[in-house]
Amino acid sequence: MRSNPNSRTPQVSYRNLTTRSLRGAPSAFFAGGLCVALLVTLSACGGGSAGDAKSASGQAKVKVMVGGLDKVIYLPAMLTQQLGYFKAEGLDVELLTEPAGVQAETALISGDVQGAVGFYDHTLDLQVKGKKVESVVQFSHAPGEVEIVSNQAAGSIGSPKDFKGKKLGVTGLGSSTDFLTKYLAVRDGVKTSEFTPVAVGAGQTFIAALKQGSIQGGMTTDPTVAGILDQKLGKVLIDMRTPEGSQQALGGPYPSSSLYMNTDWVKSHQQTVQKLVNAFVKTLKWMSTHGADEIAAKMPADYAKGGKALYTQSIKSTLPMFTKDGVMPENGPETVEKVLKAFNPNLKSAKVDLSQTYTREFVKKAS
């Protein structure tokens, strides 16, 4: 029996934008006194996929936490659900959401969910903390992030070298926006202690912080970027929504949004992981042959909070970040390691085994 030693009963603090709420897992007692197991979704008595929990229809059940379901950088998660590809693979996937990727990471490590949709860089950060997680399908080869400055601060912030003394918004402390902001500062000679990262989330909370002047700028994604520009509240300082933008800002491809999972769970549930990857690869291929308007039409209507036209534009601006096949880009992990080691003291002197932070095995089979 292989199980996650950190698993525990799911908490109800998570927000769920699908049709179901996060529920505590039932207990199941097996005859003959062989085992007593608390089933938390896919945790089961028995090795491999044979013991996976099933829905009433017989589909394998999986819970996936997303670091912001309505963020365009994580669009493949909900789009896969909307296109019916999870169901076609025989999966019952429950998509849950938290405002920041770091919170999705926490849900995964605690055992509340089986997968997290967030930035690949968390796999490196967690490895040096003794946690083994890996990306099984890579959605993107660029961060999809934008450094925005408010109109009031635009005159005093012309590049990251001007971050000194400023308050800069990030989705959460320890999030990928926090990581990237610190790298840009250090790259331009500003110490991480010389500016203040402020956790303001995304969407309306980020916009409100910019309006109120509680931050002078910050790193965020679409559709928040599109909303800020539409309301003429700020301007783009650094744009990393394209591979070219990633190359200019970070020195190479920067694999960001991905599906990452606990390595032990991946090894013991390979059939289920393969089905998940199959579904996501189908979605990435579908996205590569359809326009932003067609993609927007498939998404839940309430994602277009600023209007359909603005939402469509936000998707169009971000589309270049996505891979077409889910494959980890060459030299991508090395770029991420370089960025993290530039400012993170825990990583700077640590030896990271990049080969353990991702796998191309499932994507190759999906292709």
Report the side by side order of strands in the sheet with 133-138.
91-97, 60-66, 115-119, 257-262, 133-138
pLDDT per residue rounded down to tens, the chain (367 residues): 333 333 333 333 344 444 333 333 333 333 333 333 333 333 333 333 434 666 556 678 999 999 999 999 999 999 999 999 999 999 999 999 987 767 788 889 999 999 999 999 999 999 999 999 999 999 999 999 999 999 999 999 999 999 999 999 999 998 889 999 999 999 999 999 999 999 999 999 999 999 999 999 999 999 999 999 999 999 999 999 999 999 999 999 999 999 999 999 999 999 999 999 999 999 999 999 999 999 999 999 999 988 999 999 999 999 999 999 999 999 999 999 999 999 988 898 899 999 999 999 999 999 7
What DSSP character marks residue 207?
H
Asked whether residue 17 is domain-assigned, the answer is: no
Ramachandran category for residue 129: left, alpha or beta (phi over 0 → left; psi -120 to 50 → alpha)? alpha
Domain with residue 277: its CATH number is 3.40.190.10
- Reported as half-sphere exposure (CB side, CA atoms, 13 A), residue 53 has a value of 21
Write out the two tokens for 289: 């042959």
Query: Residue 194: what are its φ and ψ, rounded to 5°?
Result: -95, 0
Among the candidates 173, 206, 240, a domain finishes at 240
Q: Is 30 helix (H, G, I), strand (E, B) or coil?
A: coil
Asked whether residue 150 is domain-assigned, the answer is: yes
CA distances from 103 to 43, 218, 261, 312, 367 (A): 21, 19, 14, 27, 31
Q: Tell me, yes or no, whether 33 and 119 share the same domain.
A: yes
| pLDDT (0 to 100) of residue 71 | 93
Q: Tell me, yes or no, whether 304 and 207 share the same domain.
A: no
Report the alpha-carbon distance of residue 233 to residue 348 in Å, rounded: 37
Q: Tell me, yes or no, whether 129 and 261 share the same domain.
A: yes
- Reported as half-sphere exposure (CB side, CA atoms, 13 A), residue 348 has a value of 5
Q: Tell me, yes or no, whether 199 and 289 share the same domain.
A: no
**217 contact partners, CB below 8 Å, separation of at least 6:** 147, 148, 149, 150, 153, 157, 166, 168, 169, 210, 234, 237
What's the total number of domains in the chain? 2
Among the candidates 214, 240, 266, a domain finishes at 240
Q: Tell me, yes or no, whether 163 and 70 share the same domain.
A: no
| pLDDT (0 to 100) of residue 242 | 95
Asked whether residue 350 is domain-assigned, the answer is: yes
Report the alpha-carbon distance of residue 244 to residue 142 in Å, rounded: 8
Strand 91-97 to strand 60-66: parallel, antiparallel, or no bridges (unpaired)? parallel
Q: Tell me, yes or no, whether 43 and 121 share the same domain.
A: yes
Among the candidates 191, 207, 240, a domain finishes at 240
Asked whether residue 48 is domain-assigned, the answer is: yes
Q: Tell me, yes or no, whether 260 and 330 share the same domain.
A: yes
How many other CB atoms are found less than 10 A from the CB of residue 186?
A: 18
| pLDDT (0 to 100) of residue 58 | 66
Asked whether residue 14 is domain-assigned, the answer is: no
Asked whether residue 207 is domain-assigned, the answer is: yes
| pLDDT (0 to 100) of residue 1 | 36
CA distances from 81 to 68, 88, 109, 140 (A): 15, 10, 24, 18
Residues 282 and 85 sit within 8 Å (Cβ to Cβ): yes
Give the structural domain span for 362. Answer: 27-139+256-318+325-366
* First-residue to last-residue Cα distance in the chain: 31
CA distances from 18 to 92, 93, 234, 290, 308 (A): 12, 10, 33, 24, 20
| pLDDT (0 to 100) of residue 14 | 41
Q: Tell me, yes or no, whether 194 and 261 share the same domain.
A: no
Q: Tell me, yes or no, whether 123 and 149 share the same domain.
A: no
Q: Tell me, yes or no, whether 152 and 123 share the same domain.
A: no
| pLDDT (0 to 100) of residue 60 | 85
Q: Is 219 helix (H, G, I), strand (E, B) or coil?
A: strand
Asked whether residue 251 is domain-assigned, the answer is: no
Q: Tell me, yes or no, whether 119 and 86 share the same domain.
A: yes
Q: Tell me, yes or no, whether 277 and 129 share the same domain.
A: yes
Asked whether residue 116 is domain-assigned, the answer is: yes
| pLDDT (0 to 100) of residue 37 | 34
| pLDDT (0 to 100) of residue 57 | 60
